[in-house]
């Protein structure tokens, strides 16, 4: 099973087009979760609705960017991938800052959601960086 995971990651890393698609899917999922669920159930997660709407708006912008790159960029991926990596790092830092700012209000569900989101984005950043480094060495 471990070999299958490694093959999947290697195939993903050598194809930035897939990286953009995975990022787009993740950003759309984040948008849906933040705006469609967490914002509607603020009392169960603890993060203010206005913050959730802001984060979902940023995530939606990443969706538009990533899906556009996936569909339109056919070569010279590096600068677009670098923008995505930096954007995801900044989004993570903003999220972390908001988690700290509203830590007293967050419920266990809120802590769980935002921790899992940061872990998932961290994994995506690592894959994006490996893909970028692989493209850089070509």
Mean pLDDT of 9-19: 77
- Residue 121: the pLDDT is 97
- pLDDT band at 1, cuts 50/70/90? very low
For the residues of 60-129, what is the DSSP string, one character each?
HHHHHHHHHHHHH--S--HHHHHHHHHHHHHHHHHHHHHHHHTTTT--HHHHHHHHHHHHHHHHHHHHHH
Tens-digit pLDDT profile for residues 65-81: 999 999 999 888 899 99
- Residue 105: the pLDDT is 97
Tens-digit pLDDT profile for residues 113-135: 999 999 999 999 999 999 998 85
Flag whether the pTM goes above 0.85. Answer: yes
Number of CB atoms found within 10 A of residue 75's CB: 6
């Amino acid at each position: 099973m471990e070999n299958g995971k490694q093959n999947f990651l290697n195939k993903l890393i050598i194809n930035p087009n897939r990286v953009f698609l995975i990022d787009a899917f993740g950003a759309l999922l984040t948008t849906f979760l933040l705006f469609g669920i967490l914002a509607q159930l603020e009392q169960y997660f603890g993060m203010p609705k206005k913050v959730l709407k802001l984060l979902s708006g940023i995530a939606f912008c990443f969706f538009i960017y990533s899906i556009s790159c996936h569909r339109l960029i056919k070569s010279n991926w590096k600068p677009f991938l670098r923008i995505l990596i930096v954007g995801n790092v900044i989004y993570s830092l903003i999220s972390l800052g908001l988690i700290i700012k509203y830590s007293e209000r967050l419920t266990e569900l809120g802590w769980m959601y935002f921790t899992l989101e940061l872990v998932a984005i961290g994994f995506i950043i690592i894959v994006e960086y490996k893909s970028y480094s692989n493209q850089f060495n070509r």
